[in-house]
Amino acid sequence: MEQKIYYLDNAATTKMFDDVLSEGVKYYKDEFYNPSSVYYKSVEVKRCLSEAKKTLLNCLGADDGEIIFTGSATEANNMVVFSQKNMKGKKFLFGAGEHPSVLECAKELLKRGYDVEFIPLSKEGSVDMESYKQMVSCGNVAFVSVQHTSNETGAVNPIAKLVKLARKFNKDVLFHSDGVQAFSKFGYSVLDLDVDYYTISAHKIYGAKGVGALYIKKGVKINPLIFGGGQESGLRSGTENVFGIMTFKMCAEKVIKDIEKNYNKVQNMRKELLDELTKNGIDYVIHGEGVPHTMNICLSKKVRGETLVHALEKQNIFVSTGSACSSTKNYNTTLEAMGVPAEEILSSIRISFSPYMDFDAKFIAKTICEQLKKLEVKSYE
């Protein structure tokens, strides 16, 4: 009998909902028309895309503003950062623990001569408020980008508070938040956050890969990153990924409806696993505090995280050492910014839960314990 798979890397990607996949296939088969064509079949597809935008705005708690569909959240983040190209001489602030799709953009701005600074992280994994207050108080800050929830630790940043503080010193500051790991995890409204830009992704909420969305606050301008046929109001050229967009809409409706139930379920899953790890005699250390969905944990300083990941995959348990988009997979720069010792960083793994996937806390903890014992013995040989 085939061994059951326990997938615990949902911060990297999620399995697409079966019913959404089945329903969405019609946009490849029957409703395959190009939304930019003028005949009625294409006009109907175009109308569906407009409805998808309204749905996502509603899921984000917005009754106005704009949604622009992109090829990924990475593209959306790049679009926002590189849209601020007329701001030389102004200061740009980025969280030190941002996803690589923002962090690498910040580093590129530095290369181009922009004034860029990185906001330090607290030991809990969120941006350090005292440092942030000092950095925004100069009044020369024109752009800030801080992720809503960390893709590495699950730490949640107080975005509304950060926005309010930045605007206290410069009412015209533009604020972007990468909300990929926050969207569908807990309830909030982008209007209450008061952000100018907010990024989300389909494949993190059981949708298709290859489609992201950018929320743009009403009255806020942005420049295109991709030029061509003028789709998405001229802001993102290229024939729309209709299947990806429409299934994005379906998944968003589904997960938003179940936010509270799913949060409680994931919280219980995390607690069950930690309880079982304790019962198996594992003295763990968790890095950061935030949503229960993502947990960065050191289970043994004697075993490299990457080594443990590969040992567990042979038992059909899939975890990771951190972001799948990072070019430095063996070393976690977010943990480094939190002040975690290097030895502990290299021995840590990321476990990210899903309320929709198979889970057996006893089996997973027992297997982790068995593999750690084997690897610890090998480390002495």
- What is the rounded distance in angstroms from the CA atom of residue 182 to the CA atom of residue 141? 25
Catalytic residue list contains 298: no
DSSP character string of 40-97: HHHHHHHHHHHHHHHHHHHHTT-SSSEEEEES-HHHHHHHHHTT-TT-TTSEEEEETT
- What is the rounded distance in angstroms from the CA atom of residue 332 to the CA atom of residue 98? 12
Contacts of 193 (CB under 8 A, 6+ apart): 148, 159, 160, 163, 177
- E-strand spans in 182-224? 197-201, 212-216
Nearest 5°: phi and psi at 174? -100, 130
Nearest 5°: phi and psi at 81? -65, -45
Contacts of 271 (CB under 8 A, 6+ apart): none
- Please tell me what DSSP assigns to residue 156: B
What does the angle CA 66 – CA 247 – CA 326 come to, to the nearest 5 degrees? 80
Nearest 5°: phi and psi at 272? -60, -45
What does the angle CA 217 – CA 220 – CA 224 come to, to the nearest 5 degrees? 105
- What is the rounded distance in angstroms from the CA atom of residue 163 to the CA atom of residue 221? 18
| Tokens 């079949």 belong to residue | 41
For β-strands 141-145 and 174-178, DSSP reports them as parallel
Catalytic hit among 48, 105, 298, 325: 325
Q: Which residues pair with 216 in a beta bridge?
A: 66, 197
- Active-site positions read 325
